[in-house]
Amino acid sequence: MIQSFLTGFFLGLSLIVAIGAQNTFVLRQGLLGQHVFYVALFCALSDALLICIGVAGTSFFLKNFISQNSNILFGLSAIWLASYGIIRLRSAFKSNKTIEIKASTLKTIYPTISVAAVLTFLNPHVYLDTMILIGSISQQFSGYYKITFALGACLASFVFFFSLAYGARLLTPIMRRPLSWKILDSLIALIMFMIAFKLASTGNWL
């Protein structure tokens, strides 16, 4: 169970850690000290909801299809993750990205959460990552192992968003340096490759 939990945790963490509109918004709220807890909680719960829908929905609606084509799906998921890893590795060597935080004029909680909702649910990648990719990869586990996998992925969202929100003032000076992002992208790529290798092995592709 520990292995399935850690697989879900590191997969979820790897998929969510990237420069994007949602993460930048959470960072900005952390810097400004505006509704930090509620923004982090909303983003974490949203991710957890989509992950649970992906794991449960994939298991319920596609159970027979997945069981009959598990080796193919595991191989495709491995290729997908390896592609993510290559993108992150390429970014580590070629990119000089930094993160810029602009001042926010949002003061009340409702407009703030509305913006968080738009940045979360209108992002197509969130559905690909949580519902499709994590949902598909969860099929290598069964019973309680699948539940611990989902719990690990959900916990990764809570750990990431609360760390990002409350650690914003500490993280921002560090993440303004391109070298920091190169190191982070390299670590993400390594995790992606490790999980992709495991999936490929499970699907008898190796």
Along the chain (206 residues), what's the average pLDDT of each consecutive run of 10 residues? 90 79 81 88 94 80 63 78 81 67 64 87 78 82 90 95 89 75 80 81 78
Helix 36-61 to helix 2-16 angle (10° resolution) is 120
Q: What is the pLDDT of residue 70?
A: 67
Residue 119 tokens, joined: 């940045």
Domain boundaries of the chain, sorted by first residue: 2-202
Q: Yes or no: say if 42 and 118 are a contact pair by the CB < 8 Å rule.
A: no
pTM beyond 0.85: no
